[in-house]
Amino acid sequence: MNKNHQIVVLFLLILTIMVFGVISQPAQAQWKPDRPVTLLVGNSAGGGADLFARAIAKVIADYKLCEQPVVVLNKPGGSHSIAYAYLREQASPYIIAVTSSSYFTVPLTGNSPVSPTDFTPIAHFSKDPNMVVLQPKSPFKTIEELVAFAKANPGKLKFAGSSNLSDDTIICELLNEQAGINIQYVPFESGSDILAALLGGHVDMGAMSPAEASEHVKNGDLRTLAVSAFDRYRDLPDVPTFKELGYDIDQQQSRAVIIEKSAPAEVVTYYSDLMKKVSQTPEWEDWLAKNGMVPMFLDSNDYKAYHQEVLEDYKVNVDKILSKNK
């Protein structure tokens, strides 16, 4: 072959290899972060969402699930609204955020510049069951006794819950609605305040996370009424769910991860897969169990529909409560 021929053959060979190379690529480009990922949290170090985010970051780091480091960033303020506003404003594929109930409730009160429609859900991790407990000297042995007393004495029983609009408020409201009674809801600031008020007998009942309450229940310092969840709480199997007692109450806090809504589909898929891997590790399951949370993993496709359902639910309940306040 003369030189020209050789060059042409070489050229064709290279071209063929290149064509093969391109054809053998998967149909859609796989997105991977090439910069550190920020996991945004709306409260300060030590708060519930913060611990949750740090647990996620730790699992990712321990099991090396992501090539880039995942760093937790706290942006507290405005009941998590500042963090969500920051997420929307930055609109970056490298920033995701954890969510809790305030993600749904605060925008419905008009106190937030952002709302769930500004974001795309990535994955849903778990639910926090809520336990309704009674103060240690409570005379009520069953829910029927409590309801009967409440019917005869409207407004007399006091229910302690955190903040003026939360899952606790909704539970109290639903109970009032479905039993036809009037228990007065008194807002407190945190689970510890509620615990202190209960132990001191200053309120009749209150909502707490089962993990916080379980030591005291086992010790006999707190009496239980029911748990607002899908199933009974593992550590306290004698406590019935509201559903078992005939009430349609299973209000729980959802813990999920979101990203700003203009993120491309590949980005969402990447994070969704990442979170799925996190949820499947034994360390994660341990952590959820230790903190009394119930696993309920939904990836980005499944969570989309559930997200809508949860949002509608909150809308209805929050409207009920807000209209009462007028």
Q: Does 45 bind another protein (CB under 8 A)?
A: yes
189 near another protein, judged by CB under 8 A: yes
Which residues, 6+ apart, have CB-to-CB distance to 195 below 8 Å? Answer: 206, 208, 212, 213, 216
Residue 88 structure tokens:
């929307």
Q: How far apart are CA 53 and CA 228, in angstroms?
A: 24
289-301 burial code (b ≥16 CB/10 A, e <16) = eebbbbebbbbbe
Q: Is 193 in the site for another protein (CB under 8 A)?
A: yes
Residue matched to tokens 């001191």:
200
Size of the site for another protein (CB under 8 A): 49
* CA dist., res. 320 & res. 314, Å (int): 10
Q: Kindly state whether residue 246 participates in binding another protein, applying the rule CB under 8 A.
A: no
Closest distance of CB 45 from another protein, Å: 4
Contact pick of 67, 219, 237, 282 for another protein (by CB under 8 A): 219
Class of residue 12 by CB neighbours under 10 A (exposed 0-12, middle 13-18, buried 19+): exposed
Exactly one of 76, 277, 297, 320 binds another protein (CB under 8 A); that residue is 76
Chain center to CA of 320? 22
Site membership for another protein, residue 75 (CB under 8 A): yes
Phi, psi at 168, each rounded to 5°: -60, -45
Gyration radius of the chain's alpha carbons? 25
196 is a contact residue toward another protein (CB under 8 A): yes
The distance of Cα 26 from the centroid of its chain, to the nearest Å, equals: 34
Q: How far is the CB of 120 from another protein (least distance, A)?
A: 22
Q: Which residue, chain included where needed, has tokens 């106190």?
A: 111
CB of residue 324 to another protein, shortest distance in Å: 12
Q: Which is nearer to another protein, 97 or 268 (CB)?
A: 97
Q: Which is nearer to another protein, 32 or 290 (CB)?
A: 290
Please tell me whether residue 44 binds another protein under the rule CB under 8 A. yes
Interface mask (CB under 8 A) for another protein, residues 127-156, using x and -? ----------------------------xx
Name residues contacting another protein, limited to 79-98 (CB under 8 A).
79, 81-82, 85
Cβ proximity of 227 and 233 under 8 Å: yes
Choose, by CB under 8 A, the member of 221, 266, 273, 302 that binds another protein.
221
The residues that bridge with 155 in the sheet, in sequence order, are none
Nearer to another protein, 177 or 221 (CB): 221
Contacting range for another protein; rule: CB under 8 A; set: 11-19, 181-189, 250-258, 294-302: 181-189
Candidates 19, 199, 265, 305: give the one binding another protein (CB under 8 A). 199
Beta-carbon contacts of residue 40 (< 8 Å; ≥ 6 apart): 53, 73, 75, 83, 86, 87, 95, 96, 97, 98
Name the site residues for another protein (rule: CB under 8 A): 44-46, 51, 58, 73-79, 81-82, 85, 109, 111-113, 155-156, 158, 163-165, 184, 186-189, 192-193, 195-197, 199-203, 212, 215-216, 218-219, 221, 290-291, 325
